[in-house]
Amino acid sequence: MDQLARNIVWLALGAALAAPAAALAQTVPEEAPCEGCAQGGGRVPGGGPWHRKYHFDPTSQTTVQGDIVEVETVQGRHGKGVHLMLAVGSETLEAMVGPKFWLDQQSVKLAPGNRIEVKGSRTTIGDEPAMVAQEIREGSDVLALRDAGGVPAWRRGSPG
C-alpha cells in the first residue's frame, strides 16, 4: 500500500472515531424539561447539567405538608413526568415526582386540593423552591418514590 492510500485509511479511521466521540461529549441542555423526573432522577451516571443540578441529595432531606395546587405533566426527552405545585404555608413549592406511566399504575392518585406530606430533597429551580420527592403520604396511603439513596422505584421495578 502506498503512502497516499495509508493516509486516506488513517483519515477515514480518524473521522469514524471522531463522530461518536463528539456525540458522547454532548450534554443535556440546561433548560431540558423534567429530564430527571421522566428518566429517573436520582443518580444518573454521566447525566447532563439537569442531573447535576436537580439530583436527589440525601443530605438535604426534609418533610413538608401542603395542599396540591396543580398537577403538571411535563414532556421530557424520555417521556412525560409529573410535577406537583404545592401550597406550603406562604410559599409555593414545586415537587418533582416521577414518570407519568409509573404514577398511573399506583393506587395513590394525586389531585388538586389534596392535602399531602412530601419527604424529599430540597433544591431550587431558578430562584424558586423545589423538591425531588422521595415519598408522598396522603392520609394513611404512602407512595414510595425513591429509596434512601435516591434510586427511583420505577428503576427497581417496585410497585410503589
Whether residue 19 is contained in a domain is answered as no
Look at residue 15 and tell me if it is in a domain.
no
**pLDDT for residue 155:** 82
Band (123; pLDDT cuts 50, 70, 90) = confident
Q: Is residue 142 part of a domain?
A: yes
Q: Per the domain annotation, does 10 fall within a domain?
A: no
- pLDDT at res. 98: 92
Is 17 a member of any domain? no
Residues in the chain: 160
Q: Which three cell numbers stand for residue 117?
A: 406530606
Is residue 50 a part of any domain in this protein?
yes
CB atoms within 10 A of CB 67: 13
pLDDT for the residue 136: 97
Confidence class of residue 92 from pLDDT cuts 50, 70 and 90?
Answer: very high
Establish if 1 belongs to a structural domain. no
Would residue 61 count as lying in a domain? yes
Mean pLDDT, residues 19-28 taken together: 44
Distance, CA of 64 to CA of 157 (rounded, Å): 27
Domain enclosing residue 119, as ranges = 35-156
**79-107 mean pLDDT:** 93
Check whether 133 has a pLDDT greater than 50.
Answer: yes
Measure the CA–CA gap between 118 and 14, rounded to whole angstroms: 52
